[in-house]
Amino acid sequence: GMKYLHHREVVHGRLKSRNCVVDGRFVLKVTDHGYNGLLEAQKVLQDPPRPEERFWTAPELLRDPALERKGTFRGDVYSISIIMQEVICRSTPYCMLDMPANEIIRKVEKPPPLCRPSVSVDQAPLECIQLMKQCWSEQPERRPTINQIFDQFKNINKGRKTN
């Protein structure tokens, strides 16, 4: 779904696990895309998001409220990394950190030190963990593109179809 959006120059901007649903054929679908653009176009005033709602938001977007409302392609990639952490750990974002949500967001927004989830190498294939870490790079330009992510998943799955 994200590959489809990015190929059409559409930034999701609000990607999180609850915006990913599975249909009756077990195909993953991405929802809630374009919502930010709709709110922007209608100049709808929004309440600031709760800290827990910002776990999937890239650090550079946390630092720039105008950019956070619009989202970026590289910001979507960061969101994918946090969803990967949820899948690997089978839990909520940053579940291994014993901190309140607002403190986690503050640390992600203003490093050093770099604040990211901690995932053990025995929880997933090393290639998945490496990809996740690339996707949450502090420097957006060092994050892979959606095509690169797709290709890496294809390699991890040995060419079998991935959703």
Q: How many domains does the chain have?
A: 1
- Which CATH number does the domain housing residue 65 bear? 1.10.510.10
The pLDDT of residue 121: 93
Range of the domain at 67: 2-156
Q: Is 60 a member of any domain?
A: yes
Average pLDDT, the chain: 92
Q: Is 50 a member of any domain?
A: yes
Q: Is 146 a member of any domain?
A: yes
Q: Is 33 a member of any domain?
A: yes
Which of the two residues, 163 and 135, has the higher pLDDT score? 135
The pLDDT of residue 27: 87
Q: Is 38 a member of any domain?
A: yes
- Asked whether the CA dihedral 91, 86, 49, 34 is positive or negative, the reply is negative
Q: Is 85 a member of any domain?
A: yes
Q: Is 102 a member of any domain?
A: yes
Q: Which neighbouring-strand residues pair with 122? A: none
Quote the percentage of the chain above a pLDDT of 70: 95
Q: Is 12 a member of any domain?
A: yes
The pLDDT of residue 98: 92
Q: What is the pLDDT of residues 93-120, one digit of tens each?
A: 999 999 999 999 999 999 999 999 999 9
To the nearest 10°, the Cα dihedral for 96, 97, 100, 101?
-70
d(CA 137, CA 157): 23
Q: Is residue 149 pLDDT above 70, yes or no?
A: yes
d(CA 90, CA 87): 5
Q: Is residue 37 pLDDT above 70, yes or no?
A: no
Structure-token pair, residue 68: 């956070």
